[in-house]
Amino acid sequence: MIEVRDLNKTFTLRGEKIHAVDGVSCTVSAGEVVVVIGPSGSGKSTFLRCLNRLEDFESGQVIVDGHNLSHEKTNLNRVRAEVGMVFQSFNLFPHKSVLQNLTLAQVKVRKRSRRDAHEKALMLLKKVGISEKAGAYPDQLSGGQQQRVAIARALAMDPKVMLFDEPTSALDPEMVGEVLDVMRTLAQEGMTMVIVSHEMGFAREVADRMLMMDAGRILEEGPPNQFFSNPEHERTQAFLAQIL
């Protein structure tokens, strides 16, 4: 579903050149759930944002569902419609109601009729457990509710892949669970997911594969059982020891 070959991304921060993603290669097959962990500044968010080219990269190939994102001719908007993204800070549209947040792109990008978009939106709001908030505006919702709306908004496009960029990091602790529940259901339904997260319990339970990133490189990868109980690298051991 996703194939990444020798991906490189640098940027300059206060005059200093930073190699945020340094020659990363990996594949994610359909239906797989991959959780990416790593210390802050390890490039895991940048890596994730390269997967729908929200972040431009210098070199390498990213191929999503057969479309090569590095090709000039690839219609990025069309690929992005197939790749749902959930952000740390939700990024709901504050001037639109919850329902409009879910229907806008369906109508404008997917060219669905208002009626179909509306139906789909209500179905998804029910699925994430907040159908009663359809008419509310984002700032009337709690963080957990906002993030569930954001997930529903991404799902409304019927994406083939879902990317999650630290979806629970901005939430109050008691709201983390409700968002993880929605993600767990999604994983069980066979959605292809790439998740950047610090929720280790959730990762252990849901992930098919763990990726550990450090200094822009993939340091270690493997199934969660082996990854958590018997990590190869010292850096991984140290990192897990810190957060577990």
CB 238 → another protein: shortest distance, Å? 32
Give the separation between CA 228 and CA 224, rounded to whole angstroms: 6
Nearest-10 crossing angle of helices 114-127, 143-155: 130
Between 118 and 153, CB nearer to another protein: 153
CB 224 → another protein: shortest distance, Å? 27
Between 89 and 225, CB nearer to another protein: 89
Nearest-10 crossing angle of helices 114-127, 98-108: 130
CB 83 → another protein: shortest distance, Å? 7
CB 97 → another protein: shortest distance, Å? 10
Between 106 and 197, CB nearer to another protein: 106
Between 116 and 174, CB nearer to another protein: 116
CB 93 → another protein: shortest distance, Å? 6
- What is the DSSP secondary structure assignment for residue 58, as one 8-state letter? S
Between 17 and 95, CB nearer to another protein: 95
Chain residues that interact with another protein, rule: CB under 8 A: 52, 54, 77-78, 80-85, 87, 89, 91-95, 104-105, 108-110, 137, 139, 150, 153-154, 157
DSSP element (H, E) containing 243: helix 234-243
Please answer whether residues 192 and 162 qualify as being in contact, where contact means their C-beta atoms are separated by less than 8 angstroms.
yes
Q: Exposed, middle or buried: residue 190 (CB in 10 Å: 0-12, 13-18, 19+)?
A: exposed
Nearest to 196 by CA among 50, 68, 77: 50
